[in-house]
Amino acid sequence: MDIINIKSEDWLKNAGICGLYNILCEAGDREKIQISYDEIIFPIELLENFSEKYFNYFIKTYQKTFSLYKIISTGKTLENWINNDFNDFNDKSLEILNSNIENFKKYMKSNSYKSAYKLIEGNFDPELEEKELKKIKLKKKENVEDRLEEIKHQVNLMKSIVDYFKSEEAIKYVGAKNSIYNIIRNAWDGVSFLNKQCKNPDMYSEYQEYFINPVIDYAKNYEEKKKTYKYQCISCSSKIKDLNSDVGFIREMGFDTGRKTSHVWDFNNYVGICPICKFIYSCVPAGINYVYNRGIFINYSMNMEDLFRINTSIRESILEEENSRISVFKSLQEAMNKKINDEVGYELSDIQVVRFYRDIDNDSIKYNFNIINKPVLNTINFCKNQLETIKKGSYIENDSYVYIYNEVIKKLLDNENQFLLIQKLLHYKLSMPDTTYYNAGVLASVLKLNVKYLQEVGYMEKSKSNSKDGKERDIIDEARKLGYHLQIAYNKMIAKDDNTENNNSKNNKKYNKKLNSIAYRMLNSLKTNNKHSFMDVLINSYMYVGKAIPKIFAENLDKDLEFKNIGYAFITGMIGYSKEDDEADSESLKKKN
Ligand SMILES: [Zn+2]
């Protein structure tokens, strides 16, 4: 066969096909690929020098996350100092210089860099130059001018190192090393250039020999040869000669244990695959979209073109915003919104979200699988404004920032409601307000999204409005305002009781304390689904301020989920709601749009 065709299958195979597509597109071969509904077809000649295309894809796509790039990008700073003849070189500059020297040394001494040097021709010996690099520590009473000669020497040395790493060959080989350990090894390990016993130092020829040449051999006279082959590839069912090749090199086997629809699930390590499938699996790391230690792949098996399109748009946006911690899910949301707007009557239940995590501490990886069903997709699409507000909220947990947006989307993907999250957010707000960065507007948005989700999955009905316009009743806003009014009433009562209207700060503290303890008791009742104890607290509070208990609670007393959402919204208003919150939210929304 002169052409190779690969059929869409389970997510892992599809990620490999996506990877192959990305690699070939980057190499300018897009015109030569044919894509049908569930198949990709390409001439075998595209595999000549494929290893160059393979590594080139990773280097081009991920270079900004590589240590090589960190070295190269230092060049600008060095040049500035040299061009200004070190006139503005001060203590701060020395600090920058020293930290760069430290980084340079760390990278240049690493085994992966050292093995790349052997492949790069020329007289420059980076190992020797690295030893020359030395941080400059000023002694007491010394200043930068006293050590300027030394500083100049170090800067020039670094400049020559940067020039070395900027060369085509260094980018080719060090870039390939960075690709292997930062990206490729996320997906597979233990064979070819990732086999510790591998004798060939050149990853390019190694990849070509290990993965590509067998494909070319296999394809040659396949129709003739297959008559004598006894076995079958477990992935694509082609005939194979022996069972010497298996999928054991794929880390964690990429198993989605929850979805065993593919026959790939039945195989064990000793079951064979054909060279073409093995090659496709080697392209998996080019198909998954990675951001540092996380990754995402959307498996949309209905249509190849869509599979490529969705994943390309996700990759582009996560690489654009590499610093944004919410970018993976944000891009997912955008792709979903786009998708739902693009096609009417589109079958949504076939979108599988594969999330990847790498734990650097114990060198393990993990996949997480979700199916995006229609309720989730509708919720995401309907709650665009709420999600926009939620993006602004975060809190500190275990010394690191947690973004509420990420937590909300994760819960949605796991097909869970948001009650546990709301409970936690309100609890944190009461017990450690200093580490919470969200206002009542964010909380209300999570609640509104929660209501929408519960309606979409059919657990809650839409509340009818009392007014005649037939609009849906917004129980969240309603309850939140009631909570806020109770807060004001409390404030007045306490001021009156104490008769210390001139002393505002003292009042505030007092009313906060009292309202906080009420909020705690309400939260506990909601947590344990005890509507009656919630009502007890509520009735006592309203008796204290001498007001009637709002109807909304009695109206929903027999509806568990409605009551819970209303209860949380009420607490939100009681401890935080203010008009300013709302105005601030709409202001920043306006700016964004
Ligand atoms: Zn196969």
Question: pLDDT tens, 284-322?
Answer: 999 999 987 888 898 976 788 888 988 888 888 777 765
- pLDDT confidence of 591, banded at 50, 70, 90? very low
Query: How many angstroms is it from 184 CA to the middle of ligand 1?
Result: 21
Of the candidates 264, 283, 265, the residue with the CA atom closest to the CA atom of residue 215? 283
**What is the Rg, in whole angstroms, of the alpha carbon atoms belonging to the chain?**
30
Query: How many angstroms is it from 235 CA to the middle of ligand 1?
Result: 5
Strands (E), 258-339: 289-291, 294-300
Query: How many angstroms is it from 232 CA to the middle of ligand 1?
Result: 8
Query: How many angstroms is it from 277 CA to the middle of ligand 1?
Result: 4
Give the chain's mean pLDDT: 87
Query: How many angstroms is it from 203 CA to the middle of ligand 1?
Result: 24
pLDDT at 585: 45
For residue 143, count other CB atoms closer than 10 A to its CB: 11
Query: How many angstroms is it from 367 CA to the middle of ligand 1?
Result: 23
Query: How many angstroms is it from 17 CA to the middle of ligand 1?
Result: 13
Query: How many angstroms is it from 44 CA to the middle of ligand 1?
Result: 16
pLDDT tens track for 223-239: 899 999 999 998 899 99
Query: How many angstroms is it from 198 CA to the middle of ligand 1?
Result: 25
Query: How many angstroms is it from 515 CA to the middle of ligand 1?
Result: 66
Query: How many angstroms is it from 270 CA to the middle of ligand 1?
Result: 14
Instruction: Find residue 366's DSSP bridge partners.
Output: 357
Query: How many angstroms is it from 201 CA to the middle of ligand 1?
Result: 28
Which two tokens mark 436?
């919470």
Query: How many angstroms is it from 278 CA to the middle of ligand 1?
Result: 7
Query: How many angstroms is it from 51 CA to the middle of ligand 1?
Result: 20
Asked if 12 and 288 count as a contact pair (C-beta separation under 8 A), the reply is: no
pLDDT tens track for 144-163: 999 999 999 999 999 999 99
pTM of the full structure? 0.79
Query: How many angstroms is it from 52 CA to the middle of ligand 1?
Result: 23
Query: How many angstroms is it from 255 CA to the middle of ligand 1?
Result: 18
pLDDT at 378: 86
In the sheet that holds 364-372, the strands lie side by side as 289-291, 294-300, 351-359, 364-372
Q: How far is CA 505 from the centre of its chain?
A: 43
Query: How many angstroms is it from 240 CA to the middle of ligand 1?
Result: 8
DSSP string, 118-152: TTS-SS--HHHHHHH-----PPTT--GGGGHHHHH
Query: How many angstroms is it from 48 CA to the middle of ligand 1?
Result: 20
pLDDT at 257: 47
Which two tokens mark 303?
């249509």
pLDDT tens track for 26-73: 999 999 999 998 999 999 999 999 999 999 999 999 998 899 999 999
pLDDT tens track for 482-540: 999 999 898 888 777 766 545 555 555 556 678 889 999 999 999 999 999 999 999 99
Proportion of the chain above pLDDT 70, given as a percent: 86
Please, which residues have CB within 8 angstroms of residue 413's CB and are 6 or more apart in sequence? Answer: 353, 370, 372, 376
Query: How many angstroms is it from 265 CA to the middle of ligand 1?
Result: 14
Query: How many angstroms is it from 267 CA to the middle of ligand 1?
Result: 13
In the predicted model, what is the mean pLDDT of residues 88-106? 95
Query: How many angstroms is it from 250 CA to the middle of ligand 1?
Result: 15
Query: How many angstroms is it from 179 CA to the middle of ligand 1?
Result: 26
Q: Which burial class, exposed, middle or buried, applies to 303 when counting CB atoms under 10 A from its CB (0-12, 13-18, 19+)?
A: middle
- pLDDT confidence of 350, banded at 50, 70, 90? low
In the predicted model, what is the mean pLDDT of residues 334-362? 70
Query: How many angstroms is it from 215 CA to the middle of ligand 1?
Result: 10
Query: How many angstroms is it from 238 CA to the middle of ligand 1?
Result: 6
Query: How many angstroms is it from 358 CA to the middle of ligand 1?
Result: 28
Q: Is the four-CA dihedral 97, 99, 102, 108 of positive or negative sign?
A: negative
Query: How many angstroms is it from 18 CA to the middle of ligand 1?
Result: 16
Query: How many angstroms is it from 279 CA to the middle of ligand 1?
Result: 9
Query: How many angstroms is it from 119 CA to the middle of ligand 1?
Result: 34
- pLDDT confidence of 327, banded at 50, 70, 90? low
Query: How many angstroms is it from 181 CA to the middle of ligand 1?
Result: 27
